[in-house]
A and B are shown apart, each in its own frame.
Chain A
Amino acid sequence: MPKYRNRSFHNLLVPQQRAGSSLLIHDQFTDTNGVHLHDHAVSPVNVPSATWTDVESVATIQSNRAYCSAATVQTCYLDTGIADALIEASVSTVAAAHYYSGILFRCTDSTHNWRARINYNSLSFDIVEVNGSLTVRASAYVGYSGGVEYPISVTFSGQNISATFSGTTTITYNSATMNQTVTKHGVYFRLVGCTVDEFKVSRL
């Protein structure tokens, strides 16, 4: 997967900052292959001086991306200091069932968090509530391809969540009462080879 960093091409793929929002965190995951995400310093923007914390398993860096390095779920968060935010990322999965990749938000632990993810099982884009058990609260069939990076974003404010795939398909959920004031957000993926890149957190 070629990486187009600081080039106009990438600006076509990643949703633009909304007017009035302010960028707090931008991580391009530039680091040595194999470095654990919890040892990687957020760069180039890290206003709250947040550090990556493992929630479930230990993600690594590969080809300057956050990389799922084990046959399990891997989640990692930053304490951003804000519970309502816009988060953007570029995500990819392997082209096989049970591979997921996405944005983790309002996370307290491995069994209490929210996810906006691409899902190769159903070639869909989902909002998932993890509250002990997993519940899909909204979903769109997007028919994406494995091994290709797609821009996704999620905006959450109070009980309202709005998530967008590739700048065009938007899904919403308006009863998000769990973990409404939690400020820890990050990355989520499952099974080896899934990636997250260009992770950005903005104040609304």
Chain B
Amino acid sequence: MNKAHILTPWDGDGSEDNPYHPLLSDAFPTTQSWRDVTGQPVPNLHPDPNLLVIEVICDKETLSAIEADPRFLVIWGSDMSDKNEKPSTKIVSDIRSWLTSQSLSTSQATSIIKTSKTFEQISDELRTYLKTRPKKDKSDVP
């Protein structure tokens, strides 16, 4: 089994039938398990940007399928990368590009994702940044 840290949007409306949950759990419902490792306060859901980092336990095939799905970003996976290594310049660029596609500015993405950090440190930086994001203004929701 693989352990991975993955960026996913929140989904749901907080109701009994549709609680707030990571979109990934709908897209890959038989993923062995996941847990929220960001801990954003409930009153801030969905945050702006609408993202959280979850830790996922899944098989290799599922992790490959998640990697191929543009709605999600695998920051590191135990079968793909050593979380204590520093990513290549191209991977750093790819992560920044993905973040800008999720409504972060280029300068925000650059300040969070630094080339000197390991995969695990990048996950830590993202979790710290996302934990304090305010609730998305409803007027911004299409």
Binding site for B on A (CB under 8 A): 73, 98, 122, 127-129, 131-141, 143, 169, 171-175, 177-178, 190
Contact = CB atoms under 8 A, between A and B. Distances in A.
A175 B35 contact: no
Contact of A134 (B15, B38, B39): B15
Contact of A135 (B20, B29, B33, B34): B20
Given A141-B31, A141-B33, A171-B35, A134 B14 contact: yes
Given A122-B25, A129-B42, A175-B39, A138 B19 contact: no
Q: Which label, helix, strand, loop or mixed, suits the secondary structure of the A interface?
A: strand
A169 B33 contact: yes
Contact of A133 (B20, B34, B39): B20
Q: Which of A131, A134, A169 has the most CB of B within 10 A?
A: A134
B25 A136 contact: yes
A175 B17 contact: no
A69 to B, nearest CB: 17
Contacts, number: 71
A141 B17 contact: no
B16 interface: yes
Interface residues of B, number: 26
B139 interface: no
A131 B43 CA distance: 8
Nearest to A122: B29
Interface of B: 12-17, 19-22, 25, 29-39, 41-43, 45
Contact of A141 (B32, B35, B42): B32
A132 B42 CA distance: 8
Nearest to B39: A175
Contacts of B15: 133-134
A138 B25 CA distance: 10
B30 A128 contact: no
A143 B29 CA distance: 11
A140 B32 contact: yes
Nearest to A190: B16
A135 B45 contact: yes
B33 A134 contact: no
Nearest to A143: B30
